[in-house]
Amino acid sequence: MTVTEDYIDASGGDWDDVIEKAQATSAERLVVNMGPQHPSTHGVLRLILTLDGETCTEARVGIGYLHTGIEKNLEYRTWTQGTTFVTRMDYLTPLFNETAYCLAVENLLDITDRVPERANVIRVMMMELNRMASHFVAMATFGMELGATTVMTNGFREREMILDIFELVTGLRMNHAYIRPGGVSQDLPPGTVGKVRELLKEMPKRIGTMRKLLDENPVYLARTRDVAHLSLSGCMALGITGPLLRASGLAWDLRKAKPYCGYEDYEFDVPVSDGGDVYARYRVRMAEMEESLKIVEQCLDRLRPGPVMIKDAKIGWPAKLALGPDGLGNSPDHIAHIMSGSMEALIHHFKLVTEGFRVPAGQAYAAVESAKGELGCYAVSDGGTRPYRVHFRDPSFTHLQAVAAMCEGGTVADVIAAVASIDPVMGGVDR
C-alpha cells in the first residue's frame, strides 16, 4: 500500500475539484464514512472504513448517534415506571429488556419466588415470541441489504403475525411496558390462546418457506459462507454471547445455564454450529426460532388460571385494567370502588401510583438470554422509590466491537454481511 501525505476532503466543496485532485494523486487508500445515515447500517451506526481498492484494511465503529440517556432518566422515575423506559432500549427485543430489569428489581425486593406461576409462563411465552420476531427482523434486514427483497418482505410479514399477538396482549406492537416488577401488567385477554395456537400452526410453514428460500440458495451461500469468520476464542475475548457464540461452536445459553422465569421446566435444544461465519449464524437463528415454537407450545399447556401479579398490596398495582370504549384503562369497577366505596383504597392507589414502592438498599445483576445474547441489568438501590443507578449490558453494544475482527482483510461487500450478522440495534447500543 502506498502511503501518501496527500489527502482529499470529499465532505464538501466542488465535486470537480475533488475528482481532479483524486486523479492527480497515485494514492489508493480511501477512508470512507459509511453511515450514520446509510440504509444498511441498521439505523445510525457509523462505520469508518479504510479501503485499499475493494479490500477493507481497517474498520472502526462510531456509535452514540442514538444516545437518549435512558439510564439517567430512570433515576428520576419510580421503579415501576422504569419498565416504560427500558422497553425502548433495544426496540426489537422490548420484552427481554423488561424482563431483565424486572428480574433485577425483584431480586432487590427479594420477591423472586413469589412471582405467580402464571406470570412466569406468560413472560416466557412473550419472550420466546419476541425472540422469533427479532430473528425475523435480523433475517429480513439482512436480505434487504444483500438485495434479496423477497426475504425482507417475507420476514416482516411473518413478524407481523407475532406483533398482532403482542398488540392483543399488551395493547402495543412495540414499547410494551408489559412486564412489571412482581408479574405482568394484565392477564391475557380472551382469545389469546386461540391466536397463539393459530400462529403455532402457521409458523412452521412460514419458517419452512424461509428455509427453502435461503438454506441452499447459491447466491446466499456465496455471500455468507466463510464470510466474517470469528473463532470461539475470538468470541470469548470479545465477550460475545448469543447466536454468534453458538455459531462458533459453544452451546452456551443462559436459559439452560442459569434458568430464570422457570425455564428449567421447558424442554428445548440449544442449536449450535461450528461454522463461525455468517451462514452459521443464520442457521443458528433459524433453528432457534423452531425451538422457540416448541417452548411457546409448552407455555400454552402450562397456562393455569391464577393471578398474574404478586399478591403483595405494597408492590402489585391495585388497578385492574379493562378495555373500554376509549381504549385500555382502569376498570370501571375499580374506579367505582376507589371513588365511592373505600377512601383507604383510594389513598393506597394514589400512594402506590404516584410515590411507588420502596426497594431495599443494595445491588443486583440479572441476565437473560435475549435474542441477541446476554442482556444484563445491574440495578442499584439506595432504599428509595427510584432507582439509584441502572446499567444495561446490551449484547449489541458488546458485539459491535467485533466489527474490526470480522471485517478487516475482507471486501467492502462483506462488511455489510458481517454487520448484518451481528444484528445490532442501535437503540440498545446507545441507550
By CB under 8 A, residue 114 contacts other proteins? no
- Residue 378 belongs to what H/E stretch? strand 374-381
135 pairs with which residues across the strands? none
Q: Which residues contact 347 (CB under 8 A, 6 or more apart)?
A: none
Cβ nearer to other proteins, comparing 126 with 425? 425
Q: How far is CA 408 from CA 49, 64, 71, in A?
A: 9, 22, 33
Query: Angle formed by the axes of helices 117-146 and 278-302, to 10°?
Result: 150
By CB under 8 A, residue 236 contacts other proteins? yes
Indicate which single residue of 364, 415, 416, 422 sits in contact with other proteins (rule: CB under 8 A): 364
By CB under 8 A, residue 274 contacts other proteins? no
By CB under 8 A, residue 17 contacts other proteins? no
Q: Measured from the CB of residue 431, what is the shortest distance to other proteins in angstroms? A: 8
- Convert residues 254-273 into a mask of x (bound to other proteins by CB under 8 A) and - (unbound): ---xx---------------
| Spatial CA neighbour of 167 closest among 290, 291, 323, 12 | 323
Tracing cell 415501576 back to the chain, one arrives at: 80
By CB under 8 A, residue 347 contacts other proteins? no
Cβ nearer to other proteins, comparing 333 with 355? 355
By CB under 8 A, residue 337 contacts other proteins? no
By CB under 8 A, residue 354 contacts other proteins? yes
Structural contact between residues 283 and 243, judged by C-beta atoms closer than 8 angstroms: no
- Distance CA(180)–CA(84), nearest Å, equals 9
- Residue 30 belongs to what H/E stretch? strand 29-34
- Convert residues 196-235 into a mask of x (bound to other proteins by CB under 8 A) and - (unbound): ----------------------------------------
By CB under 8 A, residue 297 contacts other proteins? no
Indicate which single residue of 24, 54, 72, 225 sits in contact with other proteins (rule: CB under 8 A): 72
By CB under 8 A, residue 18 contacts other proteins? no
By CB under 8 A, residue 314 contacts other proteins? no
Nearest-5° Cα angle at 134, 260 to 277 = 95
For other proteins, the binding residues in 380-399 under the rule CB under 8 A are: 380, 382-385, 388-389, 391, 393, 397-398
Cell of 408: 478487516
Cβ nearer to other proteins, comparing 242 with 410? 242
For other proteins, the binding residues in 50-69 under the rule CB under 8 A are: 63-64, 67, 69
Structural contact between residues 310 and 183, judged by C-beta atoms closer than 8 angstroms: yes
Cβ nearer to other proteins, comparing 238 with 417? 238
Indicate which single residue of 17, 20, 110, 198 sits in contact with other proteins (rule: CB under 8 A): 110
By CB under 8 A, residue 367 contacts other proteins? yes
By CB under 8 A, residue 250 contacts other proteins? yes
- Distance CA(93)–CA(322), nearest Å, equals 26
By CB under 8 A, residue 71 contacts other proteins? yes
- Distance CA(45)–CA(75), nearest Å, equals 27
By CB under 8 A, residue 108 contacts other proteins? yes
Q: How many residues bind other proteins (CB under 8 A)?
A: 47
Q: Measured from the CB of residue 426, what is the shortest distance to other proteins in angstroms? A: 11
By CB under 8 A, residue 378 contacts other proteins? yes
By CB under 8 A, residue 300 contacts other proteins? no
Cβ nearer to other proteins, comparing 234 with 329? 234
Burial 364-403 (b: 16+ CB within 10 A, else e): bebbbbbbbbbbbbbbbbeeeebbbebebbbbbbbbbebb
Q: Measured from the CB of residue 398, what is the shortest distance to other proteins in angstroms? A: 6
By CB under 8 A, residue 316 contacts other proteins? no
Q: Measured from the CB of residue 39, what is the shortest distance to other proteins in angstroms? A: 23
Q: Which residues contact 20 (CB under 8 A, 6 or more apart)?
A: none
In this structure, which amino acid lies at residue 314? K
Residue 231: helix, strand or coil by DSSP?
Answer: coil
Near other proteins by CB under 8 A, which window of 28-36, 202-210, 339-347, 356-364? Answer: 356-364
- Distance CA(396)–CA(405), nearest Å, equals 15
Give me the half-sphere count of Cα atoms (radius 13 Å) on the Cβ side of residue 215.
Answer: 11
Instruction: Outline where DSSP puts E strands in 222-372.
Output: 321-324, 327-330, 362-369
Residues that bind other proteins (CB under 8 A): 63-64, 67, 69, 71-72, 76, 107-108, 110, 236-241, 250, 252, 257-258, 354-356, 361-365, 367, 374, 376, 378, 380, 382-385, 388-389, 391, 393, 397-398, 400-401, 430-431
